């Protein structure tokens, strides 16, 4: 430590050798600096060309390969998706056709059932109409007989009230008049 103190005090007193300026700009040390600069550049060049750049190139090649594989896989999946969509559309069209056939068959069956029900209703209506007409005809015939009988009785009673005698001519006149 004493030695250091002497050097510092010598430097402070001005007794030590002193050089002015920056050591890098001292032209006497330039050949040495240029040599080490060249050694450092060659070392950096060798490290880059032998170690770093091949690793970067291999990483880039792997990335290109991965990207290419991913693009091929995406294209393959796209083709599969298109074929799946086509199959889906075909199945959908087939299902629609089957549904239309089922609907048409159900409509035909309902139309047949409806036609059968209408025919049965028409037959029932015809039966009831015929029965009603027969009943109306019976009532009409009974009414005609009743009217003829009432008219004959009334005419006979009128003729008897007027002082005449009712005979078959009154019945014939009433029957002719009721016949029309």
Let me know if residue 171 belongs to a domain.
Answer: no
- Is 129 part of a structural domain of the chain? yes
List of residues 6+ apart from 147 with CB closer than 8 A: 178
Report the candidate in 43, 44, 24 with the shortest Cα–Cα distance to residue 34: 24
What's residue 170's pLDDT? Answer: 73
Rounded mean pLDDT for each run of 10 residues along the chain, 180 residues in total: 53 58 79 94 95 93 95 95 95 95 95 94 93 90 83 82 76 76
User: Residue 172 corresponds to which tokens in the numbers above?
Assistant: 């014939």
For 152, the token pair is 């004959």
Would you report the helix, strand and coil content of the chain in percent, each value rounded to 5?
Answer: 90, 0, 10
∠ CA 39-44-48, nearest 5°, is 150
106 domain residue, yes or no: yes
In a domain, 145, yes or no: no
pLDDT at 142: 85
Quote the pLDDT of residue 135.
Answer: 92
What is the predicted pLDDT for the residue at 143? 84
What pLDDT does residue 14 have?
57
Q: In total, how many domains does the chain have? A: 1
Domain housing 132: 27-138
């Amino acid at each position: 430590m004493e030695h250091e103190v002497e050097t510092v005090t010598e430097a402070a007193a001005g007794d030590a050798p002193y050089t002015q300026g920056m050591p890098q700009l001292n032209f006497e040390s330039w050949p040495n600096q240029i040599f080490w600069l060249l050694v450092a550049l060659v070392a950096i060049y060798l490290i880059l060309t032998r170690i770093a750049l091949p690793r970067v190139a291999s990483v880039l090649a792997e990335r290109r390969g991965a990207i290419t594989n991913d693009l091929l896989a995406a294209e393959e999946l796209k083709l599969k998706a298109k074929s799946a969509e086509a199959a889906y559309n075909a199945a959908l069209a087939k299902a629609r056709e089957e549904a239309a056939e089922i609907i048409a068959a159900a409509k035909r069956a309902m139309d047949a059932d409806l036609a059968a029900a209408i025919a049965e209703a028409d037959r029932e209506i015809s039966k009831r109409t015929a029965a009603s007409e027969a009943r109306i005809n019976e009532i009409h015939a009974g009414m005609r007989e009743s009217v003829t009988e009432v008219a004959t009785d009334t005419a006979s009673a009128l003729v008897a009230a007027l002082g005449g005698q009712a005979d078959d001519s009154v019945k014939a006149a009433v029957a002719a008049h009721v016949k029309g």
